[in-house]
């Protein structure tokens, strides 16, 4: 038997059977509890989970509680109720077909495996309290890119916020399904249950609101976007090109990363994004500026790979982190890729006379009133083409050159407004 620490040991029996066990003494008696059978090499995540269990068993011992008795009770109760992890996995399977982006399921699974399952995955949903959720959100974490360390909620607030919301949804799903209701005790607990992962009147009292608000998309001021894009266009790696393309077109991260060559018509300078990849679930035609077209013409194509920006894995696009890593490498820490859409929107409002309906159409935002809906029906494609080329010129030319073109753009826009030409 080999000790791993905190009474967690690796045991090899005479018959050759190996297992991870918890060895402890209580009331003067030596006890050994099997934690997990050993069938093959153990992953870091699995080992971390075992280490956490060992610490929890140690806390039970300090309180005079025998871990074997607790586990026996939990197993008896679990016969009529699934664990948090089991409910979460079932929830993801159920929701997968309804998620527009296949990566959502991967993101849900990875965040739960990394941050949640090791701490509360084995608990029954109705047993999880605010203290347990706080254990997850306040666990120690160290960022890989800059080495910043601290609590998960403070170090990576965007990720922590998603983790909190996912825990809340899973517990809510468990309650709605009546998980464990065959057991009278569990049924009674659910009757008066309030979700421990909710923000209002729960976690807001224990977590800093500053961390929560910092998860909003941070945008680079539009006055500084031009030099940044010019630096990107000078690079040849796919991640930099993907980020430049995203900024030039004003689309969302997932829309750019999943762009396929079959959607793009270089001759007509048009990119047609299918409805299933759009947030509003409607086809979106994107006018391509000269800089965007030039970038696409320089981008190599690979036989059998449909993606404009292919990733390292065969027939897969770049990962969601690819562009974020470019930002961090170019001293853009704190900005977000999505924030460039805010930069574009601010630029339209502050420096052009294009109406808000066109700005919303460029960003493919959901249209509300009848006037804006009319723009949506016509798509205002010609006007959007003018606007996106103006954005391109603003980003890729020097100030003097752009000021010379600005008068021309002003005249074109005024003419369109006078004629009501929105097509």
182-210 pLDDT, tens digit each: 776 677 778 778 899 988 778 888 887 53
Q: Looking at residues 281-310, what average pLDDT do you find?
A: 93
Contacts of 287 (CB under 8 A, 6+ apart): 269, 270, 381, 384, 385, 388, 389
Say what the pLDDT of residue 272 is. 96
Q: Looking at residues 406-423, what average pLDDT do you find?
A: 62
CB 9 within 8 A of CB 51: no
Count CB neighbours of 48 within 10 A: 15
Q: Which of 369 and 413 is assigned the larger pLDDT?
A: 413
Say what the pLDDT of residue 371 is. 44
Rounded to whole angstroms, the Cα distance separating 391 from 225 reads: 11
Chain segment 10-55, per-residue pLDDT in tens: 887 776 677 888 899 988 888 888 877 665 566 676 677 778 778 8
Cα R_g (the chain), whole angstroms: 27
Q: Looking at residues 211-218, what average pLDDT do you find?
A: 44
Average pLDDT, the chain: 81
Q: Looking at residues 4-9, what average pLDDT do you find?
A: 87
Say what the pLDDT of residue 365 is. 76
Say what the pLDDT of residue 36 is. 73
Chain segment 273-293, per-residue pLDDT in tens: 999 988 888 899 999 999 999
The pLDDT of residue 419 is above 80: no
Say what the pLDDT of residue 372 is. 45
The pLDDT of residue 422 is above 60: no
Say what the pLDDT of residue 137 is. 93
Among the residue ranges 85-99, 204-218, 262-276, the one predicted with the least confidence is: 204-218
Say what the pLDDT of residue 133 is. 93
For the chain, which domains are there?
Answer: 79-213 (1.10.150.130), 222-419 (1.10.443.10)
Q: 46-60, 70-84, 218-232: which has the highest mean pLDDT? A: 218-232
Rounded to whole angstroms, the Cα distance separating 274 from 166 reads: 28
Band (155; pLDDT cuts 50, 70, 90): confident
Residue with tokens 């750019």: 256
Q: Looking at residues 303-322, what average pLDDT do you find?
A: 88
Burial annotation 60-79 (CB, 10 A radius, 16+ → b, else e) = bbeeeebbbeebeeeeebbe
Among the residue ranges 204-208, 265-269, 386-390, 409-413, the one predicted with the least confidence is: 409-413
Tell whether the torsion through CA atoms of 373, 375, 378 and 381 is positive or negative: negative
CB 354 within 8 A of CB 345: no
Say what the pLDDT of residue 218 is. 67
With both helix axes pointing from N to C terminus, report the angle between 290-298 and 381-396 in degrees, rounded to the nearest 10: 70
The pLDDT of residue 339 is above 70: yes
Q: What whole-number percentage of the chain has pLDDT above 70?
A: 81
Closest C-alpha among 252, 248, 251, 242 to residue 225: 248
């Amino acid at each position: 038997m080999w000790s791993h620490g905190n009474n967690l040991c690796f045991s090899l029996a005479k018959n050759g059977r190996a297992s991870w066990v918890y060895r402890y003494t209580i009331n003067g008696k030596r006890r050994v509890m099997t934690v997990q059978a050993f069938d093959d090499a153990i992953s870091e995540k699995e080992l971390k989970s075992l280490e956490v269990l060992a610490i929890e068993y140690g806390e039970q011992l300090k309180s005079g509680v025998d871990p074997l008795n607790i586990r026996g009770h939990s197993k008896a109760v679990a016969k009529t109720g699934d664990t948090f992890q089991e409910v979460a996995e079932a929830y993801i399977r159920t929701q997968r077909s309804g998620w527009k982006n296949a990566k959502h399921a991967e993101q849900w699974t990875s965040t739960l495996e990394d941050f949640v399952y090791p701490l509360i995955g084995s608990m029954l949903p109705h047993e999880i309290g605010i203290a347990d959720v706080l254990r997850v959100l306040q666990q120690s974490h160290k960022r890989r890119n800059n080495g910043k360390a601290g609590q998960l909620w403070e170090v990576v607030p965007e990720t922590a916020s998603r983790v909190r919301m996912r825990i809340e949804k899973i517990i809510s799903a468990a309650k709605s399904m009546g998980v464990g209701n065959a057991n009278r005790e569990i049924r009674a607990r659910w009757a008066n249950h309030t979700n421990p992962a909710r923000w209002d009147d729960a976690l807001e009292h224990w977590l800093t609101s500053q961390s929560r608000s910092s998860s909003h998309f941070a945008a680079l001021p539009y006055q500084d976007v031009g030099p940044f894009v010019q630096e990107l266009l000078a690079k040849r790696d796919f991640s930099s090109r993907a980020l430049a393309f995203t900024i030039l077109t004003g689309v969302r991260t997932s829309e750019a990363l999943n762009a396929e060559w079959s959607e793009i018509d270089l001759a007509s300078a048009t990119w047609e994004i299918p409805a299933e990849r759009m947030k509003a679930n409607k086809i979106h035609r994107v006018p391509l500026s000269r800089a965007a077209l030039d970038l696409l013409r320089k981008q190599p194509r690979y036989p059998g790979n449909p993606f404009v920006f292919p990733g390292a894995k065969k027939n897969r696009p770049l990962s969601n982190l690819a562009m974020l890593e470019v930002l961090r490498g170019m001293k853009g820490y704190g900005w977000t890729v999505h924030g460039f859409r805010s930069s574009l929107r601010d630029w339209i409002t502050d420096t052009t006379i294009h109406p808000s309906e066109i700005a919303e159409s460029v960003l493919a935002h959901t249209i509300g009133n009848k006037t804006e809906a009319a723009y949506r029906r016509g798509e205002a494609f010609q006007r959007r083409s003018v606007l996106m080329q103006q954005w391109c010129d603003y980003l890729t030319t020097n100030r003097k050159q752009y000021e010379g073109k600005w008068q021309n753009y002003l005249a074109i826009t005024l003419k369109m407004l006078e004629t009501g030409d929105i097509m």
